[in-house]
Structure 1
Amino acid sequence: MRKRAHILQHVPFEGPGSIGPWLEAAGYAATRTRFFESAALPAADDVDLLVVMGGPMSVNDEPLHPWLADEKRFVRAAMEAGTPVLGICLGAQLMAAALGAAVRPNGEKEIGWFPVEGLAGGGGDGALFSFPPSTEVFHWHGETFDLPPGAVRLASSRACANQAFQYGERAIGLQFHLETTPETAREIVAHCRDELVPARFVQAESDLLSAPPARYAAINGLMGRILAWLTRPAV
């Protein structure tokens, strides 16, 4: 029986990107909750890997999107059960909120290709995922999260202190996007172009979309390493 990955998707234009081919190659059958169509969630014990995608809404928008409350409970239950959980941008903020941390506007909007720094000591004994010292990654966010109680910060940047965290042995939240492909970058620009207001950490559309193929390959490769680490066999 194939392992089951379930993807929580909040808007049509923020799909799994490079995660899809990784899941197929790793032998997962992928299902989705598309909150823009239906808020139905699977039974938590039917999921072997949970991926929580990004979106333009805030985790604090429950009056506008009542399904956010059920989603947070579902994400928390998965983390507490030890199910591998990966959250991306809004997904990481949902993980943090589900664990009791505040989500709030960041001091700077961060949109475009900017480096994140892996923090020293993140994984020498294999207990924590270890990021490279510096990696240029794709960002698109205006909010940030406080570090949840019991979580470990894994990466940071000049614009945003909490770029990645790990909770327990099988849950990682990423404020940035490693799943981005040229196609998904064009999609988010097409739908969110109004956010490209010049600022210190907001790139122009032409710069944002002119990244060479090698840059996408690098972040997609790192995404694959995180997924492989989260789903590694138990020791």
Structure 2
Amino acid sequence: MKTALVLRHLHFEDLGTFAPVLQAQGYALRYIDPGVDDLAGIDALQPDLLVVLGGPIGAFDDDRYPFLAADLTLVRQRLAARLPILGICLGAQLMARALGARVASMGVKEIGYAPLTLTPEGRASPLAALAGVPVLHWHGDRYEIPDGAIRLASTPVCDNQAFALGAHALGLQCHLEADAARIERWLVGHACELEGAGIDPRALREAARQAQATLPDAARRCLSAWLAALETA
């Protein structure tokens, strides 16, 4: 059986709708919680796939959250070996940092459901399944596209929403994996951030309800296409 090692920074920001896709593709899932679990003994090269999930901290917040250094080490090792890695939100920002790209505050929060604008490369990538589909955005930082990587998507608020490096590395700023049917955990867990950003949870809850009609299937097709590309790379 294939293995997927998943770095999870908040318990409710898990693999969501991605979990059954990975399991259907034969992956056994193993969650590691940085900041709680010791990453020192983790072999970054051992699993078939490394997934680095999101969290409400910055990719350069090492001084405040020292465990990020261990996160970054695993990401760097994985990228250097050109082994499959998927980064989501903070995970994508850590990938960008590991590849030498700048990550910084946008000066504004992008929180809510909105579709991506795919680049020509994005339309020819696994992200093609997301065309016109509102996806969840929840971040205040952005990354530059690393040297050698390909920009795949943008939004009016954030120009760099996704990048690919070869077939093995995919960074997603948005949360395709977030299960709209379980959005209440996000609304409660990030209540202070929503209040500070002036965002009404009732509006976000309704947007999540509407997204259930299209997002889970599009996210499933996107991840399945990327996993299939790994097999043929």
State the TM-score, normalizing by the size of structure 1: 0.88
The alpha-carbon deviation at position 216 of structure 1 amounts to: 2.8
User: Against the structure 1 CA distance between its residues 42 and 222, is the aligned structure 2 distance closer, same or farther, given a 3 Å change threshold?
Assistant: farther
The alpha-carbon deviation at position 162 of structure 1 amounts to: 0.4
For each residue in 1:67-115, what CA deviation from the matched residue of structure 2 results, as whole angstroms up to 9, or x when unmatched? 2112112112212323221111111111111111111111421111122
Aligned to 1:111: 111
Bigger mean CA deviation after superposition, 86-95 or 16-25? 16-25
Q: How does 1:95-110 map to 2 (within 5 A)?
A: 95-110=95-110
Unaligned regions of 5+ residues in structure 2, if any?
Answer: none
Task: Please give the alpha-carbon distance, in whole angstroms, between the structure 1 residues aligned to 2:133 and 2:103.
Answer: 24
DSSP-derived class of the 1:111 partner:
strand
Aligned to 2:163: 165
DSSP-derived class of the 2:163 partner:
strand
Q: How does 1:51-62 map to 2 (within 5 A)?
A: 51-62=51-62
RMSD over equivalenced CA pairs, Å: 2.1
More helix per residue: 1 or 2? 2
Q: Is the 8 A contact 2:103 2:141 kept in 1?
A: yes
Task: Please give the alpha-carbon distance, in whole angstroms, between the structure 2 residues aligned to 1:15 and 1:228.
Answer: 18
Aligned residues: 229
Identity value in percent: 38
Unaligned regions of 5+ residues in structure 1, if any?
Answer: none
State the TM-score, normalizing by the size of structure 2: 0.89
Residue of 216, 219, 225 corresponding to 1:223: 219
Task: Please give the alpha-carbon distance, in whole angstroms, between the structure 2 residues aligned to 1:123 and 1:116.
Answer: 11
Bigger mean CA deviation after superposition, 185-194 or 203-212? 203-212
The alpha-carbon deviation at position 6 of structure 1 amounts to: 0.7
Aligned to 1:11: 10
Task: Please give the alpha-carbon distance, in whole angstroms, between the structure 2 residues aligned to 1:212 and 1:14.
Answer: 15
Q: How does 1:42-121 map to 2 (within 5 A)?
A: 42-121=42-121
The alpha-carbon deviation at position 213 of structure 1 amounts to: 5.0
Aligned to 2:149: 151
The alpha-carbon deviation at position 119 of structure 1 amounts to: 1.0
